[in-house]
Structure 1
Amino acid sequence: MTTPPRLGPLLDQFDFACERLVGRLRGPLMDSGDGTDTPVGPLTDEEHLWEPVPGCWSVRRRAAGPGPRATHLDGAGDWGRDAAAHPHPWPPPVTTIAWRLSHLTEMLVLRADHTAGSRSATREAHPVHADAAGAVAALESGAAAWRAVLLKADDAALDTVGYCTYPYGSDAEEPFRDIVWWVNQEVLHHGAEIALLRDLHRAGRPD
C-alpha cells in the first residue's frame, strides 16, 4: 500500500524519534542532535530503576505494593507500574526510566491492537519489565507493531473517527490522524525525559 502523502511526514518523524531513543538506550553511539555521533553505554538495570528524587513512581515488585501516592500497580506479572485513578496526584510525581519505558511500550502495543488487532488488549494484562534489556526490547517490539499499523492506513482511515479504539484515551472520539500525531508527541516527549535522566544519572557518578 502506498503511504498517503500527509501520513509520510508523521511516519518519518515516528521512525526518527524511535531510532534516536533506542540509540540513546542501547548505544554504542547516539545521535547528539547536531549531526555527530556520541558514545553511550547500554542502559543498565540499576539506571533503569534509578529514583533521582524521593517519592518517584517506578515499576515495583507486585508483592511490595505501590509506591508513594500511587494506589495500585498496572500491568501483569511479578512487577507492576505505579498508578492512581483520576484525578492523578498533584504535583505529578517524577517517574523513573523504567516507568516511562513501560508507559510508552504499553501505549504502543495496546494502540496497535485496538487499531488492527483483536481490540481486546488491556492494561491489566500487559507485561511490565523490571530489567533494562527486557524493557528496551519490549519498546522496540511495540514501536514495530504500531509502525505496521501505520503502513496499513489509507486516506480514509486517517479521517475516520474511532479508527483506533484504545480504551485509555480519547481515541474513539478522534480522527486517526490526530491519534498518529499524539503517539509521535508521546515518543518525543518521553524520549526527551529518558535522555535527560540518563544524563543526570551519568553526571552524578564520579567515574
Structure 2
Amino acid sequence: MPTSPRLIPLLQQFDFVCKRLTDRMAGPVVDSGNGTDVKVGPMTDDEYLWEPVPDCWSIRRCSDGPGTGATLLVGAGDWGRDSAPSPHPAPPPFTTIAWRLGHLSEMLTLRADHTNGTHTLTRDKYRFHGDAAGASAAFDAGAAAWRAALLTADETALDTVGHSTYPYGSDPDDPFVETVWWVNQELLHHGAEIALLRDLYRAQRN
C-alpha cells in the first residue's frame, strides 16, 4: 500500500527522533546537533534507575512496592512503573530515565496493538524492565510495532476518529493523524529529557 503523502513527513520525523534517542542511550556516538559526533557510552543499569532527587517515580521491583507518592505499580512480571489513579499528584513527581523510557515503550506498544493488533493490551499486561539493556530493547520493539501500524494507515484511516482505540489517551475521540502527531511530540520531549538526565548523571560523577 502506498504511504499517504501526509504521513511521510511524520514518519520521517518519527524515524529521526527514534534514532537520536537510541543513539543517545546506546552510543558509541551521538549527533551533537551541529553535525559533529560526540562519544557516549552505553547507558548503565545504575544510570537507568538513578534517582537524582528525593521521592522520584521509577520502575521498581513489584516485591518492593510503589515509591513515595505512588499508590501502585502498573505492569506484569517482576517490575512495575510507579503510578497513581487520577487525580495525579501536583506538582508531578520527578521521574527517572527508567520511568520515562518505560512510559514511551508502553505507549508505543499499546498504541500499536490498539491500531492494528488485538485492541486488548492494557498496562497491567505490559512487562517493564529493571535493566537498561532490556528497557532499550523494549523501546526498539515498541517503536517497530508502532511504525508497522502507521504503514497500514491510508488516507481514510488518517482522518478516521478512533482509528486508534488506545484507552489511556484521547485517541478514541481524535482523527488518527492527530494521534500520530501526538506520539511524535511525546518522543521528542521525553527523548530530550532522557538525554538531559544522561548529561546530568555524567556531570555529577566527574
The letter for the 2-side match of 1:190 is: H
Cα displacement string for residues 53-77 of structure 1 (whole angstroms, at most 9, x for unaligned residues): 0010001111111001001001111
What residue is the counterpart of 1:51 in the other structure? 51
The letter for the 2-side match of 1:155 is: E
The letter for the 2-side match of 1:162 is: G
CA root-mean-square deviation? 0.5
Cα displacement string for residues 99-124 of structure 1 (whole angstroms, at most 9, x for unaligned residues): 01110000000000000000010100
What residue is the counterpart of 1:155 in the other structure? 155
What residue is the counterpart of 1:90 in the other structure? 90
CA distance in 1, matches of 2:19, 2:96: 21
What residue is the counterpart of 2:175 in the other structure? 175
Structure 1: runs of 5+ lacking an equivalent: none
1:92: how far off?
0.5
CA distance in 2, matches of 1:31, 1:127: 31
Q: Matched residue pairs, number?
A: 206
Runs of 4+ in 1 over 2 A off after TM superposition: none
Q: Secondary structure at the match of 1:81?
A: strand
**TM-score with structure 2 setting the length:** 0.99
Residue 42 (1) aligns with residue 50 (2): no
CA distance in 1, matches of 2:32, 2:51: 25
CA distance in 1, matches of 2:98, 2:131: 8
Q: Aligned runs of 1:21-40 on 2, under 5 Å?
A: 21-40=21-40
Q: Secondary structure at the match of 1:140?
A: helix
Q: Aligned runs of 1:50-69 on 2, under 5 Å?
A: 50-69=50-69
What residue is the counterpart of 2:131 in the other structure? 131
What residue is the counterpart of 1:112 in the other structure? 112
1:25: how far off?
0.3
Of residues 30-39 and 138-147 in structure 1, the stretch that sits farther from structure 2 once superposed is: 30-39
CA distance in 2, matches of 1:116, 1:95: 30
What residue is the counterpart of 1:144 in the other structure? 144
